[in-house]
Structure 1
């Protein structure tokens, strides 16, 4: 059985809100997380493109919703998916008015964007119990649809020792730990994307576009 891999990835458009976003004509994976969690690095690493997502030297500078069209190849079958990079949350150095507009636009997007199938919440492994991350997860759980899934992915796992990693897995069962440096955990993220959106599991493709039962893998 082959390993899922992204064979095409391209930036398509930036948008300020759901109103000027792309048409909802493709299943989407949304990446969200704090401003310094490493979203750009993770997107680049997952797609094996060095500069697909531009990282800023100033956390919180990117305030737009960025769309990337990607294509997976798995067991000689092609699977098109759109990746959506949301602005990082929790950064204080934006003006109050901009922050209010940004939050309103983001809330509207994540609540009403029909094409979102998977939320990938990137959390810093060094600060696993950050309140802002807990609040975001609790908030999205209030309106997440049956055809959507929420996946917690911990970045910067290289910064933890073995004991800390074991505690992290115990505290967050079902989560995925990611090392962009060593490329660990990427295959599990790819598999979860294909399972959630296409029903691909153990090398088989379901005819249904949704997954009724999706067991989380340890």
Structure 2
């Protein structure tokens, strides 16, 4: 069984100072609003409702953390999956957008325990300006990034391959970058994605 299947809700935070101390590896999920972030977390953890999605873009304003228990000490966390607020919600008031962007940017910039970033991009949309800005900011941090090209079932295999190549080319400034087609509904790319995330959390643990 994948160690990700053991994940359970730990806490929600509206501000960075409400997060628990950065004591163990964290893997965060980030992407445009309604890019399939919650669905990806749910399918990777093999749970239906661990992460909640909203039909209204930008409605999720909190940082949500899901702990993975240490098999040697169930009372301790081996690591965390972190669901960050989505970006690109044009319909939301400017003040709220700036506030959420500050929280998201602050986490990525200052969280000492951040071990990897899962960037979700709709395979049909490709890399947007906001995705590229995030990538440009992440590049000098040398934090490894896994791009999940969501909704891959909407494209035939050949087009998926071209999309992966295009994303790798556009985000080449991120040295430690992997990109894979992904579909929560058709279970495309799940094992590959889980392997990357598990390795970031605990390279020594074999599911």
TM-score between the two structures when normalised by the length of structure 2 = 0.85
- Runs of 5+ consecutive residues of structure 1 not aligned to the other structure: 74-78, 205-218
Q: Mean Cα displacement is larger for which, 153-162 or 186-195?
A: 186-195
| Pair 31,166 (structure 1): closer, same or farther in 2 beyond 3 Å | same
Instruction: Indicate the SS of the match to 2:12.
Output: strand
* Counterparts in 2 of 1:101 and 1:7: CA distance versus 1, 3 Å: closer
**1:106-164 deviations in whole A, cap 9, x for unaligned?**
2111100001100000000001132221121112213x24xx31111110001112331
1:4 Cα deviation (Å)? 3.4
Contact 2:39 2:184 in 1 (8 A): yes
- Name 2:9's counterpart in structure 1: 11
Separation in 1 of the partners of 2:70 and 2:192? 14
What is the TM-score when the length of structure 1 is the normalising length? Answer: 0.81
1:58 is aligned to 2:62: no
Q: Give the distance between the partners of 2:157 and 2:196, measured in 1 at CA.
A: 25
Q: Distance in 2 between matches of 1:187 and 1:162?
A: 18
Matched residues in 2 for 1:15 and 1:140: separation? 22
Query: What is the number of equivalent residue pairs in this alignment?
Result: 194
1:72 is displaced (CA, Å) by 8.2
CA RMSD of aligned residues (A): 2.3
Runs of 4+ in 1 over 4 A off after TM superposition: none
Structure 2: tracts of 5 or more residues without a match: 72-76, 169-177
Displacement of 1:169: 2.7
| Maintained 8 Å contact 2:13/2:19 | yes
Structure number with higher helix proportion: 2
Tell me, in whole angstroms, the C-alpha distance in 1 between the residues paired with 2:3 and 2:201. Answer: 15
1:30-83 C-alpha deviation (Å, 9 max, x unpaired): 00000010111111111111011111121110111111112488xxxxx82200
